[in-house]
Amino acid sequence: MKILFVCQYFYPEVFRGNDIAFHWAAEGHEVHAVCGVPNYPRGKFFDGYGLFKKRHEVVNGVKVTRLPIVPRGNGKVSLMLNYFSYLVVAWVWMLFHSIGHKYDRVFVQQLSPVMMSAPGVLYKKLRSVPLYTWVLDLWPESLTAAGGINNKYVLGFFRHFVKSEYRHSDKILISSRSFERSILEYGDYKEKIVYYPQWSDSDINHNADVNDNLPVLPEGFKLMFAGAVGEAHGFECTMEAARLTKEHKEIKWVIVGDGRRLDWVREFVRENGLEETVLTLGRFPAETMPWFFAQADVMLVTLSDNPLFRLYAPAKISSYMAAEKPIVAVLNGEGAEVIRDADCGWTLAAGDAEGFARLAVELSQMDKAVLEEKGRKAAAYYQQHFVKDKCLSKLDELMEIE
């Protein structure tokens, strides 16, 4: 089959949609990904890419067209320019591309912003091809939560794209069951909605090659956070918990990843003299994550207290489960429910720094056998719900891709 894959982000940017496109190409299908020049999450174009460099290439059998966009930068203005540049360029490009190119299926990976779905919707309308949309971020709720925007005209503008996306999609795939409530506010789409969670981005038994670029981690009880160090991830709470456990030198807080809040975290560490107990390692390739996970005693998933975030089960949960690690979840809503359902760790209310600190001390003194049992339960839950091959096969069946 010929499949059009639409998303502002694509490899080397790390999102689950990459696995989907590469899977279809490996199965012999003709896959065309239409994305922007890679710049997430650092805000600047990746090395080797640019407005006039590597705009067209083939990656793992996938034909990739990278459209010229404004990089995200580090401010709200540049971020909005980034969002709208892809919308305008991709919409115009798709308008002309659709004239001479026919696909059998259109798949949209809808992250933020919601406008990235518009080119896929346009192609569906022009060519009457089945459209499948995977919703991983709710809009305009995300705009209100992250940007504090409540202007009814602005929100109405973005709701236009949401309405169009849901109305024209043949199936609406949701990464979190709680998304259904929001989607049903736009219409009777109950029959369209399919729960389709994110899987781990690494296999349980996969071991990354250890090389000189990987750091030497200190001895002690290691609580590890891996992923984007962003505004949504409640680092005020995590760092306060680290400050409260400062005298427990055996407790090490390890942060693997980068993002908009990393500089703030490092400044907090300096101001509070936490250099011995808090390590901020920066970003490493996705294929090294299993190695990092193996060094941890407990994995951390955290979110700020926000009504929108209660609807999300962060994708890192499945990756942690795949690594057979116990999980501490400091968040509210669906993510905490997943941990409780799997009985693979401990949950705390978002923002509970004192409880977080007490739990860290308790876990550092706990029998290792208890932690190992929680890890085994995590792996069992992963095998049942989040194995990549099973998820990809389910998508093939859903989209009737043969």
pLDDT by residue (tens digit) across 73-99?
A: 988 899 999 999 999 999 999 999 999
Q: What are 346's strand-pairing partners?
A: 328
Claim to verify: residue 120 and residue 28 sit in the same structural domain: yes
Claim to verify: residue 366 and residue 392 sit in the same structural domain: no
User: Position of tokens 């990904």?
Assistant: 33
Give one DSSP letter per residue of 224-261, joined into a string.
EEES---GGG-HHHHHHHHHHTTT-TTEEEEEEB--TT
Q: Provide the pLDDT for residue 376.
A: 97
Compute the average pLDDT of residues 285-305: 93
Residue 366 CB coordination number (10 Å): 16
Q: What contacts 24+ positions apart, CB below 8 Å, involve 330-335? A: 330/234, 330/237, 330/238, 330/300, 330/301, 330/302, 330/303, 330/356, 331/234, 331/301, 331/302, 331/303, 332/303, 332/305, 333/178, 333/309, 334/176, 334/177, 334/178, 334/310, 335/301, 335/303
Claim to verify: residue 18 and residue 87 sit in the same structural domain: yes
CB 320 within 8 A of CB 293: yes
Total of domains in the chain: 2
Residue 394 clears pLDDT 90, i.e. is over it: yes
Q: Provide the pLDDT for residue 260.
A: 87
Q: Please give the residue range of the domain that contains residue 186.
A: 2-199+387-399
Is 210 contained in some domain?
no
CB 229 within 8 A of CB 265: yes
Please write the tens of the pLDDT for every residue from 234-260: 999 999 999 999 999 999 999 999 998
Buried b (16+ CB within 10 A) or exposed e, 104-133: ebbbbbbbbbbbbbbbbbbbbeeeebebbb
pLDDT bucket at 232, cuts 50 / 70 / 90: confident
Claim to verify: residue 195 and residue 225 sit in the same structural domain: no
Claim to verify: residue 162 and residue 279 sit in the same structural domain: no
Residue 206 clears pLDDT 80, i.e. is over it: no
Max intra-chain CA distance, the chain: 67
* Rounded-to-integer distance, Cα 102 and Cα 180, Å: 31
Please write the tens of the pLDDT for every residue from 307-362: 888 888 888 899 899 999 999 999 999 999 999 999 999 999 999 999 999 999 99
Judge residue 185's burial from the number of C-beta atoms within 10 Å of its C-beta, 0-12 exposed, 13-18 middle, 19 or more buried.
exposed
- 203 or 259: whose pLDDT is higher? 259
Please write the tens of the pLDDT for every residue from 102-134: 999 999 999 999 999 999 999 999 999 999 999
Claim to verify: residue 131 and residue 242 sit in the same structural domain: no
Q: Provide the pLDDT for residue 47.
A: 93
Q: Provide the pLDDT for residue 213.
A: 78
Is 320 contained in some domain?
yes
Please tell me the pTM assigned to this model.
0.78
C-alpha angle with apex 159: 157 to 165, nearest 5 degrees? 120
Claim to verify: residue 272 and residue 151 sit in the same structural domain: no
Q: What is the residue-averaged pLDDT of the chain?
A: 93
Q: Provide the pLDDT for residue 146.
A: 62
Claim to verify: residue 53 and residue 66 sit in the same structural domain: yes
* Rounded-to-integer distance, Cα 211 and Cα 325, Å: 23
Assign residue 101 the CATH number of its domain: 3.40.50.2000
